[in-house]
Chains A and B, each alone.
Chain A
Amino acid sequence: MADKYNAETIITETQKRISNAFDVFDHESNKTVDVREIGTIIRSLGCFPSEAELHDVIAELEEEEPTGFVRYEKFLPTVTKILLERKFRPIPEDLLLQAFEVLDQQKRGHLEPEELTKYLTQEGEPFTQEEMDEMLSAAVDPDKNVILYKDFVSMMTFDDSR
Chain B
Amino acid sequence: MGCGTSIAVENQTRPSETDGSIKQPSPALTIKAAILIQRWYRRYVARLEMRRRYTWNIFQSIEYAGEQDQLQLSSFFSFMLDNFTQINGNGPDLISHLLDSVVDPLTEEVRQLKQEQIVVPESYSGPHLSFPLSVTDTNALLCAFKEEQTLHGKYVLQLLYETKKFLKQMPNVIYLSTSYAKEITICGDLHGSLDDLLLIFYKNGLPSAENPYVFNGDFVDRGKKSTEIIIILFAFLLLYPDHMHLNRGNHEDHIMNLRYGFTREVMQKYKTHGREILQVFQDVFSLLPLATVIDNKVLIVHGGISDKTDLDFLSTVERHKVKSALRVPKRSIDDLSVRACSRSSSRHSGRSRLDSPHTSGRTSRASRRRKKHCTKQGSCSSSSSSSSSSSSSMCSPRVSSRNTPRRPPPSPSLPSPTDVLQVPFLDSFVSLEPPEPPREELEWQQVVDILWSDPKNHNGCSLNAFRGGGCYFGPDVTQTLLQKHGLCLLIRSHECKQEGYELCHNGQVITIFSASNYYEEGSNRGAYIKLGPELVPRFFQYQVSRSTRKLTLHQKVRVAEGSALRALKEKLYAHRSELMAAFQQYDIDNTGRISTSEWAQVVESVLRLDLPWRTLRPRLARLGADGNVEYKSCFEDISLGELIPPVTPNLAETLYRYRTDLEIIFNIIDKDHSGQISIEEFRQTWKLFSSHLGVAVNDQAIDDMARSIDFNKDGSIDFNEFLEAFRVVHKLDVKEQQQG
Residues of A near any B CB (own CB < 8 A)? 1-3, 5, 12-13, 16-17, 20-21, 23-25, 27-29, 39-44, 47-51, 89-92, 95-96, 98-103, 105-107, 119-120, 123-127, 131, 134-135, 137-138, 156, 159-160, 162
A91–B43 CA distance with the chains assembled, in angstroms: 10
- Select B589's contact among A1, A48, A127, A160, beta carbons within 8 Å: A1
Question: 22 A-B residue contacts at CB 8 Å?
Answer: A1-B586, A5-B627, A20-B615, A23-B612, A24-B53, A24-B57, A29-B404, A40-B50, A95-B3, A102-B25, A103-B25, A103-B33, A106-B17, A106-B22, A123-B30, A125-B39, A131-B41, A135-B41, A137-B550, A137-B553, A138-B554, A160-B44
The answer to whether B596 touches A13, judged by C-beta atoms less than 8 angstroms apart, is yes
- CB neighbours of A105 from chain B (8 A): 17, 22-25
Tell me, yes or no, whether B333 is within 8 Å of chain A by CB. no
Size class of the B contact interface (CB-based, 8 Å): 35 or more
Closest to A50 in B: B39
Closest to A96 in B: B40
The answer to whether A1 touches B587, judged by C-beta atoms less than 8 angstroms apart, is yes
Query: B395-423 vs A: 1/0 string, CB under 8 Å?
Result: 00000001110100000000000000000
The answer to whether B54 touches A24, judged by C-beta atoms less than 8 angstroms apart, is yes
Chain B's nearest CB lies how many Å from the CB of A41?
A: 8
The answer to whether B33 touches A102, judged by C-beta atoms less than 8 angstroms apart, is yes
Tell me, yes or no, whether B467 is within 8 Å of chain A by CB. no
Most buried by B among A51, A98, A124, A134: A124
Tell me, yes or no, whether B29 is within 8 Å of chain A by CB. yes
The answer to whether A25 touches B53, judged by C-beta atoms less than 8 angstroms apart, is yes
A49–B3 CA distance with the chains assembled, in angstroms: 12
- Select A134's contact among B22, B24, B45, B627, beta carbons within 8 Å: B45
Chain A's nearest CB lies how many Å from the CB of B124?
A: 44
Closest to B626 in A: A2
Chain B's nearest CB lies how many Å from the CB of A85?
A: 12
Chain B's nearest CB lies how many Å from the CB of A36?
A: 11
Closest to A102 in B: B33
List CB contacts (< 8 Å) of B502-561 with chain A.
550, 552-554, 558
The answer to whether B626 touches A17, judged by C-beta atoms less than 8 angstroms apart, is no
| Interface segment, one of B4-12, B439-447, B641-649 | B4-12
Chain B's nearest CB lies how many Å from the CB of A90?
A: 8
- CB neighbours of A2 from chain B (8 A): 591, 593-595, 626-628
Query: B76-99 vs A: 1/0 string, CB under 8 Å?
Result: 000000000000000000000000
Complex A-B, nearest 3 residue pairs according to Cβ-Cβ distance, in ascending order: A124-B34, A43-B46, A44-B50
A102–B554 CA distance with the chains assembled, in angstroms: 26
The answer to whether A43 touches B35, judged by C-beta atoms less than 8 angstroms apart, is no
* Apart from A43-B46, A51-B38: 5 A-B pairs, beta carbons within 8 A: A29-B402, A100-B33, A101-B11, A124-B38, A162-B618
A40–B29 CA distance with the chains assembled, in angstroms: 27
- CB neighbours of B54 from chain A (8 A): 24
Closest to A137 in B: B552
- Select B35's contact among A27, A41, A124, A138, beta carbons within 8 Å: A124
The answer to whether A17 touches B614, judged by C-beta atoms less than 8 angstroms apart, is yes
The answer to whether B44 touches A102, judged by C-beta atoms less than 8 angstroms apart, is no
The answer to whether A95 touches B41, judged by C-beta atoms less than 8 angstroms apart, is no
Most buried by A among B37, B402, B457, B597: B37
Chain A's nearest CB lies how many Å from the CB of B545?
A: 13
Chain A's nearest CB lies how many Å from the CB of B401?
A: 13
Given that A134-B553, A137-B553, A138-B553 are contacting pairs, would A125 and B57 also be in contact in the complex, using a CB cutoff of 8 Å?
A: no
Tell me, yes or no, whether B36 is within 8 Å of chain A by CB. yes
Most buried by B among A21, A92, A123: A123
Tell me, yes or no, whether B118 is within 8 Å of chain A by CB. no
- Select B613's contact among A1, A20, A120, A131, beta carbons within 8 Å: A20
The answer to whether B7 touches A102, judged by C-beta atoms less than 8 angstroms apart, is yes
Chain B's nearest CB lies how many Å from the CB of A72?
A: 14
Tell me, yes or no, whether B42 is within 8 Å of chain A by CB. yes
The answer to whether A120 touches B595, judged by C-beta atoms less than 8 angstroms apart, is no
The answer to whether B31 touches A123, judged by C-beta atoms less than 8 angstroms apart, is yes
Tell me, yes or no, whether B351 is within 8 Å of chain A by CB. no
Given that A96-B40, A159-B554 are contacting pairs, would A39 and B46 also be in contact in the complex, using a CB cutoff of 8 Å?
A: yes
A151–B73 CA distance with the chains assembled, in angstroms: 52
Given that A40-B49, A119-B30, A137-B553 are contacting pairs, would A3 and B404 also be in contact in the complex, using a CB cutoff of 8 Å?
A: no
- Select B7's contact among A16, A99, A119, A131, beta carbons within 8 Å: A99
Chain B's nearest CB lies how many Å from the CB of A62?
A: 19
Tell me, yes or no, whether B308 is within 8 Å of chain A by CB. no
Closest to B47 in A: A44
- Select B552's contact among A39, A99, A138, beta carbons within 8 Å: A138
- CB neighbours of A3 from chain B (8 A): 595, 597
Most buried by A among B31, B46, B586, B587: B46
Given that A28-B403, A29-B406 are contacting pairs, would A99 and B628 also be in contact in the complex, using a CB cutoff of 8 Å?
A: no
Chain A's nearest CB lies how many Å from the CB of B554?
A: 5
Chain A's nearest CB lies how many Å from the CB of B584?
A: 12
- CB neighbours of A131 from chain B (8 A): 41-42, 45
Tell me, yes or no, whether B1 is within 8 Å of chain A by CB. yes
A124–B54 CA distance with the chains assembled, in angstroms: 31
Tell me, yes or no, whether B113 is within 8 Å of chain A by CB. no
- CB neighbours of A21 from chain B (8 A): 50, 612, 615
A92–B29 CA distance with the chains assembled, in angstroms: 18
Chain A's nearest CB lies how many Å from the CB of B52?
A: 10
The answer to whether A20 touches B40, judged by C-beta atoms less than 8 angstroms apart, is no
Closest to A27 in B: B403
The answer to whether A39 touches B30, judged by C-beta atoms less than 8 angstroms apart, is no
Tell me, yes or no, whether B588 is within 8 Å of chain A by CB. yes
- CB neighbours of B39 from chain A (8 A): 48-50, 91, 125
Closest to B29 in A: A102
The answer to whether A20 touches B612, judged by C-beta atoms less than 8 angstroms apart, is yes
- CB neighbours of B32 from chain A (8 A): 99, 102, 124
- Select B42's contact among A1, A25, A39, A99, beta carbons within 8 Å: A39
A90–B54 CA distance with the chains assembled, in angstroms: 23
Chain B's nearest CB lies how many Å from the CB of A22?
A: 9
A112–B546 CA distance with the chains assembled, in angstroms: 30
Given that A28-B403, A119-B30, A124-B35 are contacting pairs, would A91 and B40 also be in contact in the complex, using a CB cutoff of 8 Å?
A: yes
Chain B's nearest CB lies how many Å from the CB of A37?
A: 8
Closest to A156 in B: B44
- CB neighbours of A12 from chain B (8 A): 597
A39–B39 CA distance with the chains assembled, in angstroms: 11
Query: B303-340 vs A: 1/0 string, CB under 8 Å?
Result: 00000000000000000000000000000000000000
- CB neighbours of B40 from chain A (8 A): 48, 91, 96
